[in-house]
């Protein structure tokens, strides 16, 4: 029997121009998250506006699934987030943070990232727009509850996007978009 790991997402808003100390730390405090917890977290970056991404097998607001050292990585992500903001102007992002913990396994968060990437690819036919590679699972944990797990990947109830966009061949995102596509899933 596999170990069950409870998944609980905590959501913060991220707008182009936000800074760590001025805008993010206060949201972390409100969410009862400490910076040291973020070294072993999983996070999902999603668009939070009128459009979502058209993937080969469906539409999702998810742009990226990542793990570990959230503070330094989100600062790196600001560059490409800014590029997307230039594309559609005046919109924000949502960042879901999950802190999975398993007794005697400090690297459990890496397995959750790999699981989410596989789950996303199974649903949508490829990895999220900004993930250029799939990760390998390191354990066989069972993540529960399933609806909470998928909440970070899918369009939520009552959410109405007006557009679904996909990169064209002339876009710098096009090659990365198709890199993890698997025709056998289509």
pLDDT digits (tens, 9 = 90+) for 13-29: 988 778 889 999 999 99
User: Rounded CA gap, 110 and 65, in Å?
Assistant: 11
Alpha helices in the chain (DSSP H): 25-30, 70-88, 108-124, 146-151, 174-179
pLDDT of residue 43: 95
Domain span at 148: 3-185
3-state secondary structure of 16: coil
User: Rounded CA gap, 126 and 121, in Å?
Assistant: 4
pLDDT of residue 159: 82
Query: In this predicted model, which residue has the larger pLDDT, 80 or 50?
Result: 50
User: Residue 171 region, left (φ>0) first, then alpha (ψ -120 to 50), else beta?
Assistant: beta
List the beta bridge partners of residue 97. 10, 43
User: Rounded CA gap, 109 and 111, in Å?
Assistant: 5
Cβ atoms of 116 and 128 within 8 Å: the answer is no
| Residue 53: both structure tokens together | 């991404």
Number of domains the chain contains: 1
Residue 173 has pLDDT above 90, yes or no: no
- For the question of whether the overall pTM of this predicted structure is more than 0.85, the answer is yes
Residue 177 CB coordination number (10 Å): 22
From the centroid of its chain, how far is CA 20? 18
Tens-digit pLDDT profile for residues 54-107: 999 999 999 999 998 888 877 776 666 666 656 656 677 899 999 999 988 888
């Amino acid at each position: 029997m596999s170990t069950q790991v409870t998944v609980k997402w905590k959501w913060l808003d991220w707008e182009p121009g936000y800074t760590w100390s001025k805008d993010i730390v206060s949201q972390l405090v409100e969410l009862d998250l400490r910076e040291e917890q973020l070294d072993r977290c999983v996070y999902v970056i999603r668009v939070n506006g009128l459009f979502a991404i058209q993937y080969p097998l469906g539409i999702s607001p998810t742009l990226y699934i990542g793990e570990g050292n959230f503070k330094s990585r989100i600062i790196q992500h600001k560059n490409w987030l800014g590029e997307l903001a230039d594309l559609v102007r005046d919109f924000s992002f949502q960042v879901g943070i999950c802190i999975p913990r398993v007794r005697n396994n400090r690297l459990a968060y890496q397995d959750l990232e790999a699981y989410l990437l596989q789950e996303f690819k199974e649903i949508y036919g490829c990895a999220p727009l900004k993930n250029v590679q799939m990760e390998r699972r390191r354990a066989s944990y069972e993540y529960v509850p399933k609806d909470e797990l998928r909440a970070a990947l899918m369009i939520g109830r009552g959410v109405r996007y007006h557009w679904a966009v996909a990169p064209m061949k002339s876009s710098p995102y096009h090659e990365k978009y198709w890199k993890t596509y698997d025709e056998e899933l289509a």
